[in-house]
Amino acid sequence: MVARLKLKGIDGQPLEMTTAAAAVGTIRLATADDVEQLLTLVNWAYRGKQGRHGWTKETHLVGGLRTDRESLATLFTTPQTYIHVLVVDGSLVGCIKSVIEGDIVHIGMFAVDPDKQSRGYGGRLLTCLLTHATQLSCSTAVMTVLSARPDLIRMYASKGFLDTGERQPFPPRSAAMGWPLDDVPLQFAVLAKSL
């Protein structure tokens, strides 16, 4: 079954994406009403006990929360920032954030409920975000991944995201990002893909 996803661009005009996978669940742009569900989802996927088994797991590397309520709420008033969410049977099961800067889309906060992974939800969210970015005239997608996660870097490479060799330091200890568990400083690997 083919379905159309209707999104709004930065000018408020509708954007449409056709996808055969949309038959299960709906992808839409998040609103401020989604903050509580996003907070639960993102922290569960990245830092929850169950997160140890999901593809976004960081519990062996980073302590604390992945995000907080204030940081999430701020995203809804930040220009050129979008959060796509996947809702299945009324529950928010995945999200992915994009920030548009000129012709570059920066991807982050990519999470799928660990209990619902390996069902194609992450791929659908990424495809939707990249389609949206292309419709907004982006030519490059960039994301950062903990360099201590070579498995994740390889997985993104299979999706066309190549390691640029650039490294960025993990931010200082904060309630909004957590902190490294070991004394070894963590770094982000910068990955990029041409659109």
Q: Compute CA distances 60 → 16, 122, 172, whole Å.
A: 39, 22, 18
pLDDT in tens, 126-159: 999 999 999 999 999 999 998 888 888 999 999 9
pLDDT single digits (tens) 33-62:
999 999 999 988 877 765 445 555 665 666
DSSP assignment of 14-51 = EEEEEEGGGGSSEEEE--GGGHHHHHHHHHHHHHSGGG
Give pLDDT, residue 179: 61
- What pLDDT is attached to residue 186? 82
Q: Which residues contact 175 (CB under 8 A, 6 or more apart)?
A: 64, 65, 68
Per-residue confidence at 9, pLDDT binned at 50, 70, 90?
A: very low
Q: Residue written as tokens 């050129």?
A: 80
pTM for this one? Answer: 0.80
